[in-house]
Structure 1
């Protein structure tokens, strides 16, 4: 074997070992389930930050680390996704924080294409909610392992067995509790680890800004301290044993069962158990399939895919940042990669790790890591970067929009800035930009999954591009993919209009409502009207 081959083998082995240390995951939830609070609690327990801040930054507590955009801080919601890299023990955790607001699901879907596992966060009082169900469908379509964390157990809520039953009955995911709460929701005493039987009693710290104090007790000590609540919890655990609700690795990795943990993110109860479970059970990065359906080994030369674009995170520099999930190989800052879509070289001199609004230069990265490439004007969502032999990963799909507006510049003298801003937001995937012969380039149609994205458009167009816009609502709520042969007929029908998506040139038919669509489909069965996909999940008819 040659020296070069020896070096390649050593390189591949080191890369595979580093990949084995990675856990890349996202947190999915309904709005107000406590996702941003959990994000900070995870970082706090991993010693990545010294104190956690509530969503609204009450008192002397700072705002949520992962919520960096002004709109997010003002409204107390997550709008954009953020990548948080956390060292925990011997592992590197890559937490891709996703928008929790229902209107920002498309960005969430994109993030789910870049992770290997998801934490499904449930409110103990509300259980499974519409947004959670929608996001879980994407995870299930991709057979993604899901860990469930029942949050807010320090507040009044439902019975734990009732919540487990809802998970199994509504989404067909078999729950396998890893720990069990002592004390009903609202009277949270501590947690019993089912595997070891150890009871950890929780003690709140002032304001929940630092790690909760955890006190381990024997069963005898716990019975004496907790009295009736210990007896009830013990009886419920016996019931779990009788029905066989034990952890099964094969079904978990296949996306058929879900380890369940209980806790409360705000006072930091049960967060360390969640971290330990994530490290021990979540899968490390594996070989990804390329566009030809062939696996790309993690030990191969570098390759990665852009899953998110974000401009102007740093107001002082007005930059454009591409978030890339490393798929294979070792990344080294300064290496020159090839942009698969254009065949052109792409220099990586300026590469950073991003922790919310904070940045640090990153020199090396391995499969599962997320790197942020600065001044990435040539890149778009879904693009592939590689070293050596060409590889292309499947495109990240655009999703079925449900809301549409016409955008016009309020100041005609700033039309160039208007054009540049609309193109920027389109390339980032904030909205889909559609054009039509009827309205022309001066009045593009913006399409979004949720209407709050249009508030983001207005805010960014005014603040970043100094080109205020007027948005006029269009009375459409459905989109279907069509083709050049069908477009002329469909465009002339009442209640429908055909437009072209600027990013890929695809033709879309917009329709007023599902009833009008059914009439068109009945009268023109020979024309092309295909549903768009949402993260691998077909849009409901």
Structure 2
């Protein structure tokens, strides 16, 4: 049903064909936020790029908007950017690069159709990159590889391609090949056209780099030996099966590879063109029964992220929902699958970093920000019409760090409880409770310790409820299959905690403590926490 008469709009299937929804994943410091900004610059939705700290007086990157992100120069939250390019609608989801926030990245990867894997030319595949790629592989997400920072000293191009093949099992298919070794970047060989693409440096990378194209004969004459070497290596790639195979890319067994420098805007245009040309469009998404939801079925979407504090003036709460089918129209009333209750969509916005525009319609692949969506949580489904539909939820990671949180100001106890609950709903932190500690001393559980820094900063700045954290010595967590066994699990080396979704967990100081307790109580029903990210 809808709050207003519906008008005829575009065909959802045709609109979906125009969508490209992807995430940028990388190890910290590989240049992910810089690449995100460079893509927006090439699409001409911003006129000037700035460094993470607002270099030379320019504004900072559009996707890093939290105070901690700007201060530390890293991405902590995921961000959604939407813009049009070459008659396509680009939905770009920037993700946290730091390993401590991999759970947030995992949620974003549940909402995309492809990913851009960013590698540092000097470092290649790093631990966090490998972990994120494993999630892509598990979900069969096609990956495009962009080897960044070729304007700085680094490793050989063939060596980096070999590493992709050997360590993650993807067949590299370079579409461009560097002319000049890392640190002496002359340009690239466009392997499809056979042309040389040279770049002219812009003023600190703030504006688009001008491209100069030469034929193979012109490049041989003007560039010389470095061109000849690039041509020879390109021929070797062809002989070894390194040419483009679109079906292998879509099957997530091969990866197109591009070389460039995001900070210099070298090669970014080719990446954007490649996404438009080859990246998969939205497809029918399976529901909890495994039945694909047709793109032209009535509206449906799932929430993959909840965020507060994006508008400091209002402290509102935004639920980011990926449209899966049909047409979203602002003002429509959908059904919240978890409760069966109606959900009004009066306040719906498209995001461009922290900037917002009211959205009237959206189609499969689009990301819609639903404002003041207090009833929605991560993994929830919205749908219109009948029959009901629900998409699979998004599992939590097993936490590895624990701390007791207490308010520093007893007079702010109400704000303390509200803030902790809000951050738990967002997925910033997992909140656990114990009968022994009481409601005033929840246990915060995190994948990485920097999550505690985010909680501390946001509790003080957003909720005006400063907190004290007492780190706990636990390192191992298990799911308790039988709650009646809880008494046996409370020892000086272990504790029983309840998660907000009703799950009972047992935490242990280490594996020795776990094995000792199991040896004494062989009937204990303890299970590993298994997320499908693993």
SS of the equivalent of 1:207 reads: coil
2:406 matched residue in structure 1: 408
Q: Does residue 131 in structure 1 map to residue 136 in structure 2?
A: no
* Aligned partners of 2:482 and 2:525 also within 8 Å: no
Please point out which of 232, 237, 241 is paired with 1:240: 237
TM-score norm. by structure 1 comes to 0.95
SS of the equivalent of 2:55 reads: coil
SS of the equivalent of 2:58 reads: coil
2:3 matched residue in structure 1: none
SS of the equivalent of 2:56 reads: coil
Please point out which of 340, 344, 365 is paired with 2:341: 344
| 1:250 Cα deviation from its structure 2 partner | 2.4
| 1:21 Cα deviation from its structure 2 partner | 0.6
| 1:496 Cα deviation from its structure 2 partner | 2.0
SS of the equivalent of 1:206 reads: coil
| 1:485 Cα deviation from its structure 2 partner | 4.2
Q: In 2, Cα distance between the equivalents of 1:312 and 1:147?
A: 32
| 1:315 Cα deviation from its structure 2 partner | 1.3
* Aligned partners of 2:106 and 2:533 also within 8 Å: no
Q: In 2, Cα distance between the equivalents of 1:522 and 1:28?
A: 42
- Residue range with higher mean Cα deviation, 521-530 or 175-184: 521-530
Please point out which of 427, 436, 439 is paired with 2:437: 439
SS of the equivalent of 2:97 reads: coil
Q: In 1, Cα distance between the equivalents of 2:475 and 2:452?
A: 15
Q: In 1, Cα distance between the equivalents of 2:519 and 2:194?
A: 62
Q: In 2, Cα distance between the equivalents of 1:339 and 1:186?
A: 53
Q: In 2, Cα distance between the equivalents of 1:174 and 1:527?
A: 46
* Aligned partners of 2:483 and 2:504 also within 8 Å: no
Q: In 1, Cα distance between the equivalents of 2:529 and 2:254?
A: 29
* Aligned partners of 1:25 and 1:116 also within 8 Å: yes
Within 5 Å, give how 1:321-360 maps onto structure 2. 321-360=318-357
SS of the equivalent of 1:208 reads: coil
Q: Does residue 467 in structure 1 map to residue 479 in structure 2?
A: no
Partner deviation per Cα, 1:260-298 (whole Å, 9 max, x = no partner): 111000000000111111111111000001011111011
1:537 matched residue in structure 2: 533
Within 5 Å, give how 1:239-278 maps onto structure 2. 239-278=236-275
* Aligned partners of 2:334 and 2:343 also within 8 Å: yes
1:219 matched residue in structure 2: 216
| Shift in CA distance, 234/477, structure 1 to aligned 2, threshold 3 Å | same
| 1:520 Cα deviation from its structure 2 partner | 4.3
| 1:525 Cα deviation from its structure 2 partner | 5.0
| Shift in CA distance, 246/312, structure 1 to aligned 2, threshold 3 Å | same
1:391 matched residue in structure 2: 389
Q: In 1, Cα distance between the equivalents of 2:105 and 2:526?
A: 26
1:422 matched residue in structure 2: 420
1:66 matched residue in structure 2: 63
1:380 matched residue in structure 2: 377
Q: In 1, Cα distance between the equivalents of 2:497 and 2:68?
A: 31
- Residue range with higher mean Cα deviation, 510-519 or 172-181: 510-519
Structure 1 regions of 5+ residues with no counterpart? 1-7
Partner deviation per Cα, 1:122-171 (whole Å, 9 max, x = no partner): 00000000110111111111111111100000000000000011111111
Q: In 2, Cα distance between the equivalents of 1:328 and 1:356?
A: 24
1:301 matched residue in structure 2: 298
Q: In 2, Cα distance between the equivalents of 1:169 and 1:112?
A: 24
Partner deviation per Cα, 1:170-221 (whole Å, 9 max, x = no partner): 1111111111010000011111111111211111111110111001101111
Q: In 2, Cα distance between the equivalents of 1:143 and 1:519?
A: 40
Please point out which of 155, 161, 164 is paired with 1:164: 161
Structure 1 outlier segments of 4+, above 4 Å: 518-525
Q: Does residue 52 in structure 1 map to residue 49 in structure 2?
A: yes
Partner deviation per Cα, 1:293-336 (whole Å, 9 max, x = no partner): 11101110000001100112111112111000001000111111
What root-mean-square deviation, in Å, do the aligned CA atoms of Structure 1 and Structure 2 show? 1.5
Q: In 2, Cα distance between the equivalents of 1:533 and 1:71?
A: 31
| 1:251 Cα deviation from its structure 2 partner | 2.1
Q: Does residue 210 in structure 1 map to residue 195 in structure 2?
A: no
1:3 matched residue in structure 2: none
Q: Does residue 480 in structure 1 map to residue 478 in structure 2?
A: yes
1:27 matched residue in structure 2: 24
Count of paired positions? 527
Structure 2 regions of 5+ residues with no counterpart? 1-5
* Aligned partners of 2:460 and 2:467 also within 8 Å: yes
Q: Does residue 154 in structure 1 map to residue 174 in structure 2?
A: no
Q: Does residue 457 in structure 1 map to residue 455 in structure 2?
A: yes
Please point out which of 59, 78, 82 is paired with 2:75: 78
Within 5 Å, give how 1:277-316 maps onto structure 2. 277-316=274-313
SS of the equivalent of 2:51 reads: coil
* Aligned partners of 1:490 and 1:497 also within 8 Å: no
| Shift in CA distance, 86/435, structure 1 to aligned 2, threshold 3 Å | same
SS of the equivalent of 1:346 reads: strand
Partner deviation per Cα, 1:509-532 (whole Å, 9 max, x = no partner): 112223433444555554332222
Partner deviation per Cα, 1:359-394 (whole Å, 9 max, x = no partner): 111111000000001111111111111100111111
| 1:247 Cα deviation from its structure 2 partner | 1.9
Q: In 2, Cα distance between the equivalents of 1:254 and 1:400?
A: 29
1:491 matched residue in structure 2: 489
SS of the equivalent of 2:188 reads: strand
